[in-house]
Structure 1
Amino acid sequence: MGQAAGVITELHPPRPAVTCVVASRNRRADLLASLPRHEAPVVLVDNASTDGTVEAVRAAHPDVTVVPLDRNAGAVARTLGTARAGTPFVAFTDDDSWWAPGDLARAAEIMRAHPRLGLLAARILVGTEEELDPVCTEMAASPLGTDPDLPGPSLLGFVACAALVRTEAFTAVGGFDPVVRFPGEEERLALDLAAAGWGLAYVDEVTVHHHPSTSRDPNTVRQAGIWRSRVLTALMRYPLRDLLGQLVRAAGAGRPGWRGLVGAVPRVPAALRRRRVLPRPVMAGVRELSR
């Protein structure tokens, strides 16, 4: 009987708790270097790369589930990847980031121990020098405090390349949307998780390594994209007076802010169709953070 049970265990190994979902575009070299570091099954959603990423990954890593898209879907690629994952938790690792050895499993255990935790934001060490990302210092000092049922300071934002989400929570709020896209797509998701009653927390007990790719947009382009996302998120979720305040801040941010405002204009109709003002407690947290 014992031998039979052993055979059954071998034939049916325990299902993984976590899937790493990677969204990428034209970063073949980064992917080939980072994919072997992941300690969980990987779903790669390719945003219509033209550098042979799909073929190279399939040849070098046949165990990776590759989902090729025929157009660049931006952050929505992570939503599509999560739908393919089939695990209770999903780690959004980028093509240039990976979880420290053992920390992905440790993060999943923390999620299990805190059932209201919808999103865990890990500590981020940047580059070969492993310098602490300044955003981690901000998250650790969050003025929102630490709720008794959460493992760390409460958040209303996060960095996607170092986040573990509860699939149930992520799916319930619709995941990443096609309006905000990338970069700066995290805020809208964070706000909707909080509005639905899920907790978001920074946990510095677990670490993600981030070696920023050399194939990145210039900083001015990235900053304009972030302002575009801020404006669209405000249009979708902020009360009128807070929306106006965000528009004023964008206008006062110089060229990146103005470029962000202009870039947001074509997406305004779609944002208005998805507009749903945040509950007062969540908006109070947004105001506290903006101070």
Structure 2
Amino acid sequence: MSGPPVTVAVITHDRRPELLRTLGFMTALPERPRVIVVDNGSGDGTADAVAEAFPEVRMIRSDENLGAVGRNVAVEQVETPYVAFCDDDTWWEAGALTLAAGLLRTYPKLASVTGRILVEPDLREDPITPELRDSPIPRPYWMPVPALLSILAGASMVRVRAFREVGGFSPRLWLGGEEELLSLDLVSRGWWLGWAEDVIVHHAASRVRDRRGRRMVGIRNTLWTAWLRRPPGGALRRTAAVLRAVPKDRASAAAVAAAVAGLPWVLRERRVVPTAVEDGLRLLEEPQRTSVARRYVD
């Protein structure tokens, strides 16, 4: 490998055209990373198309849609110290992998680097960008970039050792807001998460998605994460904030009902974050409340 010691991991489901476009970009990068794709039970011939068009890509075929756990499956095969996640509708710009890997190599307490997302086709910044750039989380003296309390899985490079240390993505959450629980477990173990202005990731949002279903899962997972990791006061505030923000419709009601139905296992597996982490989460409450990017809409 002539580039940085990083493997790219992609998960996909029934998005063959988008995935082929993304792999076209990723396999042409000057860094020439190894690429692993986990096909989450696609029925549109995705796996065969990749095998034909990109024989150098490692294709792992799953019989079912594993959601975010597909990333765990990919990381099991990773032999490099860093893994760069991207979705089938995101791709890393030339040089971005090198920059992110350089930060991880230089700062051994840094578990992840999230890039600045540019939305295709006009290359505007993703609406979440100001929250990341102006993150209020205090950072240690050695850290040259803003500190975060959650990654964006489609645009982040993660230290493999740290990822494995916390067990990867939870199979309970499936897909949608699954990054927050993983991230809280990382920072609870003393790892730091960063955002880098010059690490560029492109996003051409796929139109092939169940927007209402994703919204329901996202609401459920946000509530579960709050109940799993935050102390009573923080969990109550987060729950109230979510309930105020969601549309008052059947999908939201179903999402809340699903979250409540999971309370037995949530209470069994509840593990509250350290005080310093909760202090950081409290600092994020106001930016989250006023965010233009965090809207529970289809």
Contact 1:99 1:207 survives alignment (8 Å): yes
What's the secondary structure of 1:233's corresponding residue? Answer: helix
Contact 1:119 1:199 survives alignment (8 Å): yes
User: What percentage of residue pairs aligned between the two structures are identical?
Assistant: 38
Amino acid corresponding to residue 274 of structure 1 in structure 2: E
Unaligned runs of 5+ in 2: 287-298
**Which of the residues 3, 17, 39 maps onto 1:29?**
17
Tell me by how many angstroms 1:99 deviates: 0.7
Contact 1:193 1:199 survives alignment (8 Å): yes
Tell me by how many angstroms 1:57 deviates: 0.9
Contact 1:123 1:136 survives alignment (8 Å): yes
Structure 2 Cα separation of the partners of residues 102 and 95 of structure 1: 19
Change (3 A) 1:55 1:273: farther
Unaligned runs of 5+ in 1: 1-12
| Residue 79 of structure 1 pairs with residue 95 of structure 2 | no
Pairing of 1:82-161 with structure 2 (within 5 A): 82-161=75-154
Tell me by how many angstroms 1:149 deviates: 1.9
Tell me by how many angstroms 1:269 deviates: 3.5
Q: Higher Cα Rg: structure 1 or 2? A: 1
Pairing of 1:220-259 with structure 2 (within 5 A): 220-252=212-244, 253=246, 254-255=248-249, 257-259=252-254
Tell me by how many angstroms 1:82 deviates: 0.8
Structure 1 runs of 4+ aligned residues shifted over 4 Å read 13-16
Contact 1:46 1:54 survives alignment (8 Å): yes
1:6 aligned partner: none
| Residue 283 of structure 1 pairs with residue 281 of structure 2 | no
Structure 2 Cα separation of the partners of residues 257 and 289 of structure 1: 23
Structure 2 Cα separation of the partners of residues 62 and 44 of structure 1: 12
Per-residue CA shift, 1:25-68, capped at 9, x if unaligned? 11111111110211311111111111111111111111111111
Amino acid corresponding to residue 214 of structure 2 in structure 1: R
Tell me by how many angstroms 1:148 deviates: 1.8
Tell me by how many angstroms 1:16 deviates: 5.6
**Which of the residues 195, 200, 210 maps onto 1:207?**
200
**Which of the residues 31, 48, 54 maps onto 2:41?**
48
